A = this chain, B = another copy of it.
């Protein structure tokens, strides 16, 4: 039905030159005269030529495609990181293919294989919460496929990574609450399998220590960091009868759950309980009161990850020394933690 697609051979034929000349002209090869370049380009346009990147990729052994795996794109944080990656990649004429693992290990492996089979030139990944084995990533490195980790990383594979300083972030959040006069600060965190939560927790502990606030194990709640988990943790906390005057949640969603429960119980925020979340998801500025949170600079994170990626890709060395970029977080103070007169 549709006329056959134009190839460089069609252009060559029309112009009475060879396909290689056409190829070189289209690729702006310096050894081709400006005159032929122009005629080729014109003919290409008039025949509505669309290069077959597949063929080029096959021939060159590289696809100009880079794969990104994230737990979900349905988070402002991740979609912003992706935008950051795309910015640099597109500038360098690379396309970005995004896949979601949905926090599922099998899915993560399947999606990884699919990307490899699609011959991406490398992969950037934020590891799922439940992924405990990293063999599939280790294999990539051994096969010489560039790999960069971001945000949800692990030290079990030796490759470049980008994170924010989650320790400092946890410290800042806790310190802020302390400076607001809070003395009994609860913390909602994940089972410490994932680096980021472990670090935020360490920051929390360190701040307590530095300000001589006794650590209470009963104030540390563990959950899966979704809204519902935040609700559960907060209900438990209240039911436990344990006194608390602040909650630092390592996730905005869990913080939102906490806010809901506190409001349902008519506990005033921030007067009775101050609240701090994590990630600066857009909705945090819409809540009532607006939620204090930590900005992770996702776009910058994406850019940094892409930079490390292209460093590996363009490296001629056999052995690549893994780099680690650490971004500095920023506390966004809003009404949920601002006590009057402070």
Residues of A at the B interface (CB closer than 8 Å) are 1-2, 5, 50-55, 57-58, 63, 65, 72-74, 76, 79-80, 82-83, 86, 95, 97-100, 113-114, 116-119, 142-144, 256, 259-260, 263, 282-283, 286-288, 318
List residues of chain B with CB within 8 A of the CB of A55: 58
A114 CA / B54 CA spacing, docked (Å):
12
- CB contacts (< 8 Å) of A143 on chain B: these are 2, 5
Tell me whether A50 and B95 are in contact (CB under 8 A).
no
A283 partner, pick from B58, B63, B282, beta carbons under 8 A: B282
Given A74-B79, A100-B83, A51 contacting B144 (CB threshold 8 A): no
* A74 adjacent to B80 (CB under 8 Å): yes
**Measured CA separation A59–B57 after assembly (Å):** 13
Residue in B82, B86, B98, B286 whose CB lies within 8 Å of A286: B286
9 A-B pairs (CB sep. < 8 Å): A2-B143, A5-B143, A53-B119, A55-B58, A79-B79, A95-B97, A95-B114, A283-B286, A286-B286
Q: How far is the CA of A191 from the CA of B72 in the complex (A)?
A: 33
Point out the residue from B1, B50, B76, B116 that lies within 8 Å of A74, measured CB to CB.
B76
Copies in the complex: 2
Nearest 8 interchain pairs by C-beta: A288-B288, A283-B283, A2-B144, A74-B79, A54-B119, A53-B117, A73-B79, A2-B143
Q: Which residue of B lies closest to A119 (CB)?
A: B54
Q: Which of A57, A86, A144 has the most chain B CB atoms inside 10 A of its CB?
A: A57
Q: Which of B52, B76, B97, B286 contacts A119 (CB 8 A)?
A: B52
Measured between beta carbons, the chain B residues less than 8 angstroms from A288 are: 263, 287-288
Q: How far is the CA of A287 from the CA of B287 in the complex (A)?
A: 5
Identify A1's interface contact among B53, B58, B144, CB under 8 A: B144
A114 surroundings in chain B (CB, below 8 A): 95
Choose among B74, B86, B99, B287 the residue that contacts A100 (Cβ–Cβ < 8 A).
B86
CB closest chain-B residue, reference A318:
B1
Known: A55-B58, A142-B2, A283-B283. A118 touches B73 (CB 8 A): no
Q: Compute how far the CA of A55 lies from the CA of B1 in the bound complex, rounded to whole angstroms.
A: 25
Max chain B CB contacts within 10 Å: which of A80, A116, A286? A286
- Complex CA gap A73/B54 in Å reads 26
* Residues on B with beta carbons closer than 8 Å to the beta carbon of A52: 58, 117, 119
Residues from chain B with Cβ under 8 Å of A142 in the complex: 2
Interchain CA distance A52-B74 in the complex, whole Å: 31
Chain B residues whose CB sits within 8 angstroms of the CB of A58 once the complex forms: 52, 54-55, 58
Min Cβ gap A92→B in Å is: 13
Q: Given B51, B82, B99, which contacts A73 in the complex, CB threshold below 8 Å?
A: B82
Q: How far is the CA of A247 from the CA of B328 in the complex (A)?
A: 41
Give the docked Cα–Cα distance between A81 and B23 (Å): 39
What's the Cα separation between A203 and B142 when bound, in Å? 60
User: Could you tell me the distance in whole angstroms from the C-beta of A290 to the nearest C-beta in chain B?
Assistant: 10
With a CB–CB cut-off of 8 A, which chain B residues contact A318?
1
| Alpha-carbon distance A82/B73, docked complex (angstroms) | 9
B100 close to A54 (CB less than 8 A): no
